Each structure stands twice: as C-alpha cells, then as structure tokens.
Amino acid sequence: MSIWELLSNLGIGYTLAVVSIGAIVIGFVTGVLSVLFVLQKRSVIGDALAHASLPGIAIGFFIVLEKNRLYMITGALITSFMAIVSIMLISKWTRLKEDTSIAVVLSFFFAIGIAMLTYIQNLSLSAQAGLEHYIFGNIAFLLLSDLKSILFLSVIVLLPVLLFYKEFKIYLFNREHAIVLGINVKFLELLLMVLITLSVVLAIEMIGVVLISGMLVAPAVAARQWTDKFAKMIILSGIISAMIGVAGAISSSQSFDLPPGPIIIVYLTLFVGFSLLFGTKSGIFQNWIHRNIFHRNVDHDELLSEFITTTTGLFQSDAMTILEFDREHYPELSELILDKLIQCGFCKKLSGSKCALTYKGIQETEKFKSERRNE
C-alpha cells in the first residue's frame, strides 16, 4: 500500500495531501530562516529581497517560457543581489539613510516585476497560467513533481544552517566579536542573504511577494516568547510556521476564493498576539506578573542599592562629584528603577536622557555607602 492509498483511506485526498506536505516543508524552512533573519535585525533588507525577487522570477519565466523553478530561482537570486548592491551603493554615495534607499530600490524592483508579470499575462501562452499567484500566493495546484523540487531546495537551505550553526550564532549575537575571532563575517552575511532569498523563492508561490516578509518575521517573534535558547527557538519557529502553513493551505483549499497567503498571515498574526500575551519567556502577561508580584514589595533600600551598584563608576569616585548623569551610559538602570527613584524623590529627569541625583538622593547614597563600609 502506498502512502497515497493510506492517506486516501484516511479520507485525505491526494491533492490535499500533496498540498499539505508542501505547506509543511515550506513552512518549516521559512520558520527556521526567520530566526536568523529576525536576529540579524535587518528586516527591511528582507522586504527588499522579497520584492526584488519578483522581476527575477518573471525573467526566469521569460527565458524558457514555462514555470521552471531552476530558472526562476536563478533569476530571483540575480535581481535580489542587484537590489542589495544598489542599496549599498546608494547608501555609500549619497547621504540617504539606509531605510530610505531600501524603500526606493524596493519599489523600483517591485514595479518592474509587476510590469513584467502583467506583460506575461497578456501574452496568452498556456504556460503562463498561475503566474499571478506570485502576488498573493496559491498552493492548490501543487503537483508531486513540485514537491520534489521543494524538498530538494529545502535541503539546500537547511544544510548550511546546520553546518554553520556555531558561526551563525556568534555572528548574530555579537558581530564584532566574531570578526575579532577571525570568523569570516562577510561570507556569513552573503550566505545568509542567499539563504533568505532561496527561502523567499521557495515560499513565494504559497504566500506571494506582498506578504512574504511577514512569514519571515512572525514565526521567530512568536517562538522567542516561549524559549530563550537559540537552538530551541529555531526548531520551535520551524514547527510553528509549518503548522500554520498547513492550516492556512487547508483553509484556503476549502474556500476557493481566498488565496493562502492572507489566511496564513492572519493565523500567524493571531498566534504572535497570543504568544506576546501569554508566552512563558517574555510574554506581556509573564512580565506583568513578574513586575507586580516580585517588585511590589521592593523597599527603598534595595532599590537604592541596586541603583548605587549600577552607578558606582560615578558616585564612588572620591575625587569627582558629578550629580548629573546620562542614562545612556547606564543601560542597567532600568526604566522601572528610575521611575521608583523619581517617585522616592532621589532622582530627577533633566532634558533628554540626562538625569540628576537630588540632594535627598545624595544623602541616601552617602548613608548607604557608609553602612556598607561598616559591614
């Protein structure tokens, strides 16, 4: 008995089975990549990559006049690369901010992509069918042969993540440290860009160009609310994205008018919202509990001692007495502590990030220091 017979015995149609497997695989790969993408903190670049891949896909189609993945991928890689290079050159040669140049390049490439797709639509070729799906996505027409190339591409994307796991981790956490250790960061950045483009190409049929950056951000954001380990976050993000991908694909195939892209994004957004509220690691609810249960009974002494230990550089020095300080130099002085200190009248806010210790605050500090010396 083949797997298809098994599935059909379970009441799952062949088409739906192919579509589901496709959605799971695509979802998993984009979920994994989304962690690297989000932690790289350059999400605008990803949007540019996604939009810039559209003309490449159209060119790939033009060359062979059929939907051949290899040509489309190559085309997408080339135009995405061109987009990145133009962004870098514009940022270098003009004084435009990077996000401005990204916006310019992004809309330019996207416009060309749309123009080319429209042109292809009007060619009245039989092979052009379904090319408009690249805008909002479609997965209902996925064939078994598509599944094979999807699997192949997925392995190509996931393998480097596995191989360079350690390098990606240190690069994403602390780029400068990676450089100092002699790790080839330029190579990693290029590789990551290629991998993101590949996963864009992989997911573009299902989600569509317009919404793909959501798929590259949301799973990682959701996963982060439930774990604070890098490896776990990658796996969790892959699973979340696969589950939501398949749920979206099935919902879409049940109602033919809705393409899967928007459905998937709605599901993802709902799940991100749920995770932000109830996530065990940095969910709002958790933080609220933490703040209100654990910090309600904070007494002045504890607060002050925390304040003093984080700012000893300023106040312990015997030679200098600077009462004014800049919050930016004390990242540990959290908003919460500062608020309490202000409430207690130990501190006051000046303009911008500047703060000052009040007379009362100085007295308390002195008292605290002399107590500690006597311990």
Residue numbers of the site for other proteins (CB under 8 A)?
39, 41, 95, 163-167, 169-170, 172-174, 176-183, 224, 227-230, 232-233, 281-282, 306, 309-314, 316-322, 326, 328-333
Query: Looking at beta carbons only, is 95 or 296 nearer to other proteins?
Result: 95
With a CB cutoff of 8 Å and minimum separation 6, the contacts of 298 are: 340
Q: Minimum distance from CB of 158 to other proteins (Å)?
A: 16
The CA distances from residue 94 to 84, 101, 125, 356, 374, in Å, are 15, 9, 43, 40, 61
Name the E strands within the chain. Answer: 324-326, 347-349, 354-357
Query: Looking at beta carbons only, is 326 or 371 nearer to other proteins?
Result: 326
Query: Looking at beta carbons only, is 64 or 181 nearer to other proteins?
Result: 181
Q: Minimum distance from CB of 317 to other proteins (Å)?
A: 6
CA angle 290–293–297, rounded 5-degree value = 120
CA angle 260–135–35, rounded 5-degree value = 65
d(CA 127, CA 109): 24
Q: Minimum distance from CB of 170 to other proteins (Å)?
A: 5
Q: Minimum distance from CB of 375 to other proteins (Å)?
A: 12
Q: Minimum distance from CB of 202 to other proteins (Å)?
A: 25
Query: Looking at beta carbons only, is 182 or 352 nearer to other proteins?
Result: 182
Distance between first and last Cα of the chain: 79
Query: Looking at beta carbons only, is 326 or 339 nearer to other proteins?
Result: 326
Give me the residue label for tokens 């190579």. Answer: 187
